[in-house]
Amino acid sequence: MPAKKRAATKKTPAGTAGAAPAASKTASAASKTARPAKPESRTALVRRARKIDRELAETYPYAHPELDFENPYQLVVATVLSAQTTDLRVNQTTPALFAAYPTPEDLAAADPEKVEELIRPTGFFRAKTKSIMGLAKALTEDFGGEVPGRVEDLVKLPGVGRKTAFVVLGNAFGRPGITVDTHFGRLVRRWKWTEETDPDKVEKAVGELFPKSDWTMLSHHVIFHGRRMCHARKPACGVCPIAPLCPAYGEGETDPEKAKKLLKYEKGGFPGQRLKPPQSYLDAGGIPAPPLGGTPGGTAG
C-alpha cells in the first residue's frame, strides 16, 4: 500500500511556470541527487554546475549588478561603500555623494567631514571615507582621473580587493570575472561545487567549471538566487527551480505554499535594491527601490 501511494504522488503535475516542480516530485528528484550511490565525477560536476547556471539564467533573465552607477568611477566607489551594508542602502546614499563630487578629482579634494556625513547611512563611514577619498586621490594622481581596466591596477586602489575589482571589470568594462561575495560563496558550497572557503580559492575552483565568457553573468545569477530564494537560514526549497540538482535540498522549507512566503524582492512582489534598475527588470515585474525617506513603487528615472 505505501508503495502505491508513492507512485501516485510522483504523477502530481508540476506547478506554475517559473516555479519548481510539485513538492513530492522535487523531493524525490532532489533526494537522488543528494545521496548518490558513488562520488560525483569531475565530468558530472561540470555538467550539473552548468545546468544549474542555465536554470538560473531562465529564472533571472534580467539579472544585473544591484548597485546604481553611470560610469566606472561611480561603480568602484559604490562597491567599496557596499561592504557591511546592503546595496539598497548604498543606492539611497550615493546620489547625494555623486552630486557633490561627480569626479575623482572632486572627491580627492573634498572635506573629509562632509564626505563622512554624506555616507554615514552606509555604516563604518570614517573608514569608508578614508578608502574612497584615498582611491579618488590614487585615480587622480596615478591614472589621470580614470578607473583602470586591469585587475592588477584596481587592487592597488585603497579599499579595492579582487571582489571589487571583478565587479568593476565585469560590469563597467565587460571583462569576465567571478564575484565571490557572501551569497556566492554560500551557494557554491551548498551545491558542492567546491568546499573552499577562501574567496580567492572559491574563485579559482568555480572558474574552472565554466568558460571564462560565462563568469560575469554566472556571478549575477548566483547572487540573485542567494538574495531572493536560497537564503542563508531558511532557503525556499519548495519553489526552487534547481531543487532536483541541489545536494542541499530539504535544508529549507519544502512546502511550496510556505516557501513562496520566503521569497524576496521581485519574486515576492517587493521592491528591489536599485533606484534606477534596468528596463528588463522592470519589464519582468521588478519594482524600483525608494530613495531615502521615500515610499516604494516609483518609476525609474
Partnered with residue 271 across adjacent β-strands are 287
Residue with cell 531558511: 234
Q: Are 143 and 122 in contact, with CB atoms under 8 Å apart? A: no
Looking at residue 188, its amino acid is V
Residue 214 catalytic? Answer: no
If 0-12 CB within 10 Å is exposed, 13-18 middle and 19+ buried, where does residue 239 land? buried
Catalytic-role residue among 128, 163, 214, 267: 163
Residue 163 catalytic? Answer: yes
Catalytic-role residue among 137, 153, 156, 181: 181
Instruction: Give, in order, the Cα–Cα distances in Å from 97 to each of 94, 103, 129, 298.
Output: 5, 10, 11, 21
Could you give the CA distance from residue 88 to residue 108 in angstroms, rounded to a whole number?
Answer: 25
Partnered with residue 28 across adjacent β-strands are none
Q: Are 207 and 215 in contact, with CB atoms under 8 Å apart? A: yes
Instruction: Let me know the angle formed at the C-alpha of 227 by 83 and 133, rounded to the nearest 5 degrees.
Output: 20
Q: Are 114 and 81 in contact, with CB atoms under 8 Å apart? A: no
Could you give the CA distance from residue 245 to residue 4 in angstroms, rounded to a whole number?
Answer: 26
Instruction: Give, in order, the Cα–Cα distances in Å from 33 to each of 157, 199, 249.
Output: 44, 26, 9
If 0-12 CB within 10 Å is exposed, 13-18 middle and 19+ buried, where does residue 77 land? buried
Q: How many residues does the chain have?
A: 301
For the annotated catalytic residues, the residue numbers are 163, 181
